[in-house]
Structure 1
Amino acid sequence: MANPWWTNQSGLAGMVDHSVSSGHHQNHHHQSLLTKGDLGIAMNQSQDNDQDEEDDPREGAVEVVNRRPRGRPPGSKNKPKAPIFVTRDSPNALRSHVLEISDGSDVADTIAHFSRRRQRGVCVLSGTGSVANVTLRQAAAPGGVVSLQGRFEILSLTGAFLPGPSPPGSTGLTVYLAGVQGQVVGGSVVGPLLAIGSVMVIAATFSNATYERLPMEEEEDGGGSRQIHGGGDSPPRIGSNLPDLSGMAGPGYNMPPHLIPNGAGQLGHEPYTWVHARPPY
């Protein structure tokens, strides 16, 4: 007699369904392949994220940017220029001088000779030293002239000298002296002024001078002051158009022309010019 189906349940447990087993194996293999693929994608995404984080500046980090320096690079056109040395003086420039006048020399005559020798005007600024046998012009003195004998100290010495003939009063010396007993005398030097020891004189020289008559008179054509010489013509020679001053000294003085006192021998109101010939360049 055949056994009913329920009596053989134990035999069913030992049986293996090969179809189910094969399907389960394929499914497990497919899941393992998916897991490996997902892992590779996840790793690639993680590497990309790490690279992006490295590229992005972090908070608080210092970012170094290479910028082009401003200005021209070294060695370009901005090179230091060579200094310019002026080897010639301007004709209108002043030169400073310290003049030492030796013992026994006439101070005024020595400075006048220096002006003629150098062909430059001399402006005396100050002087120090001792002098003797002074002849001064004073309005209060009888005859307007006073002669002093003895030793005197120079307190102040000023004046001007021109190398050529000049109008009265434009050249000469004015001196203030202190005597041995403390008396102070002064006036325009109209005679010898002998140096005792060395007399030091501070002076400035110039090469050009222009005569101006003041107050200026307006010309009819409305122009400015009259020009002494034109720009295209050569300057006149020193003393070319000036009158002779050799006989202009006052009576009884017999002084050189450059020591003529003011008011002695009045000249006409003609314009005087003193122009130093410019040296060739």
Structure 2
Amino acid sequence: MNENGGSSGGGGDEEEERENGDEPKEGAVEVGTRRPRGRPPGSKNKPKPPIFVTRDSPNALRSHVMEVAGGADVAESVAQFARRRQRGVCVLSGSGAVANVTLRQPAAPGAVVALHGRFEILSLTGAFLPGPAPPGSTGLTVYLAGGQGQVVGGSVVGTLVAAGPVMVIAATFANATYERLPLEEEEDEAGSGGQGQLAGGAGSSPPAIGSSAQQQSGLPDPSSLPIYNLPPNLIPNGGQLNHDAFAWAHARPPF
């Protein structure tokens, strides 16, 4: 009998200890499992994938450093480069020595001077277009220094033979726009509306090619002008242009 009473008393003590163990003790601090707020460290500094441009803009300029071999005609070499690549070339500067130069002097209209001997290039500028171009829009202008310190310059109308390696710095472009200046008032208003249409899609649409509005304003029909190298998806408004475009539409040869 005493043994049973002792065992039952021991069971009551165990239950009391278990209940007391569930209650928080004085001075104890509960540690919760709550997740911290915000992003984990370093999540904002993850490297982003690089952005690749798959094709060039038709209006982008490309820079070139051209080396013309000695004995070659500098003007003809640059013009041939423009024709083969079907891109316009804007000559920015040049350096080197040339010989057998034929120039048109600006002081005397129609005066052509043939220079023999070796000359150093002081300045070389000009432009070349691969296709048909308005008169006077292509060619080179050069200023040369002679052996005695004399300086002569003018428009190159003949050969410009390189007496050694000639370095030419140039930029090339794919499309060019031919503009007639000064603009008439009607053309100015139409051009401002057409420019907004091309840039951001706002404003009135330019007149269609061959429309009566262009014929009444005295402008030539753009359909009769050469339009080269302008892909169909780059012609705004489904083939409507508000100016004369000079570009080059032959297939681009391999570089």
TM-score above 0.5: yes
Shift of residue 66 of structure 1?
A: 5.4
Give distance in 2, aligned partners of 1:117 and 1:229.
33
In structure 1, distance between residues paired with 2:88 and 2:119: 27
**Structure 2 counterpart of 1:84, one-letter code:** F
1:4-35 superposed Cα distances (whole Å, 9 cap, x missing partner):
xxxxxxxxxxxxxxxxxxxxxxxxxxxxxxxx
How much does 1:272 deviate?
6.3
**Is the 2:91–2:170 contact (alpha carbons within 8 Å) kept by the matching residues of 1?**
yes
Are residues 66 and 124 of structure 1, via their aligned partners in 2, closer, same or farther at CA, if it must alter by over 3 Å?
same
Q: Is 1:218 aligned to 2:185, yes or no? A: yes
Q: CA deviation at 1:68?
A: 2.2
Q: What pairs with 1:135-146 in structure 2 (closer than 5 Å)? A: 135-141=102-108, 143-146=110-113
What corresponds to 1:193 in structure 2?
Answer: 160
Q: Secondary structure at the match of 1:97?
A: strand
Cα pair 2:125 2:142 within 8 Å, conserved? yes
Q: Is the 8 A contact 2:225 2:244 kept in 1?
A: no
Instruction: Go from structure 1 to structure 2 and tell me whether the alpha carbon gap of 1:79 and 1:278 turns closer, same or farther (over 3 Å shift).
Output: farther
TM-score by length of 2: 0.61
Q: 2:146 aligns with which of 159, 169, 179?
A: 179
Q: Structure 1 residue 92: deviation in Å?
A: 1.2
Please show how residues 3-42 of structure 1 align to structure 2 within 5 Å.
none
- The Cα shift of 1:217 comes to 1.1
What is the correspondence of 1:141-180 to structure 2 with a 5 Å cutoff? 141=108, 143-180=110-147
Q: Are residues 186 and 103 of structure 1, via their aligned partners in 2, closer, same or farther at CA, if it must alter by over 3 Å?
A: same
User: Which structure 2 segments of 5+ residues have no match?
Assistant: 1-22, 195-205, 210-221, 229-242
For the 8 Å contact 2:96–2:164, the answer to whether it is kept is yes
* 2:170 corresponds to 1:203: yes
Distance 2:208 2:84 in 1: 24
Count residues in correspondence: 203
Q: 1:152 to 1:216 in 2, by over 3 A?
A: same
| Larger of the two Rg values belongs to structure | 1
Deviation of the 1:145 alpha carbon:
1.9
User: Does the CA contact (< 8 Å) of 2:86 and 2:250 recur in 1?
Assistant: no
Q: Structure 1 length as normaliser, TM-score?
A: 0.56
CA distance in 1 between partners of 2:70 and 2:111 (Å): 28
- Is contact 2:127-2:137 (8 Å) kept? yes
- CA gap 1:73/1:123 in 2 versus in 1, 3 angstroms: same
Moved over 6 A (4+): 72-75, 225-229, 233-236
Cα offset for 1:148?
Answer: 1.3
Secondary structure of 1:210's aligned partner: strand
- The answer to whether structure 1 residue 104 and structure 2 residue 76 are counterparts is no
Instruction: Write the mapping of 1:29-68 to structure 2, written as runs, cut at 5 A.
Output: 68=36
Conserved 8 A contact 1:235-1:277: no
Stretch deviating more after TM superposition (187-196 or 213-222) = 213-222
Structure 1 residues 221 and 213, CA, compared in 2 at 3 Å: closer, same or farther?
closer
Partner of residue 198, structure 2: none
Q: Give how far 1:136 is off.
A: 1.3
SS state at 1:113 partner: helix
Name the SS for the 1:213 alignment partner: coil
Q: Which residue of 2 aligns with 1:70?
A: 38
Pair 1:234–1:279, CA change in 2 (3 A): farther
Q: Secondary structure at the match of 1:164?
A: coil
Corresponding residue of 2:100 = 133
Partner of 1:276: 248
**Alignment root-mean-square deviation, CA:** 4.3
Runs (5+) with no aligned partner, structure 1: 1-51, 240-270
Tell me how far apart the structure 2 counterparts of residues 79 and 114 of structure 1 sit (CA, whole Å): 42
65 and 220 in structure 1: CA distance in 2 versus 1, 3 angstrom threshold:
same
One-letter amino acid matched to 1:216: L
Contact persistence 1:91–1:278 (CA under 8 A): no
Residues 226 and 245 of structure 2 are in contact (CA less than 8 Å); yes or no, is this contact kept in structure 1?
Answer: no
Q: What does the per-residue CA deviation read over 1:191-229, in whole Å, with 9 as the maximum and x for residues that have no partner? A: 110001111111111110010111111228952278798
What SS does structure 1 have at the residue aligned with 2:163?
Answer: strand
- Secondary structure in 2 aligned to 1:170? coil
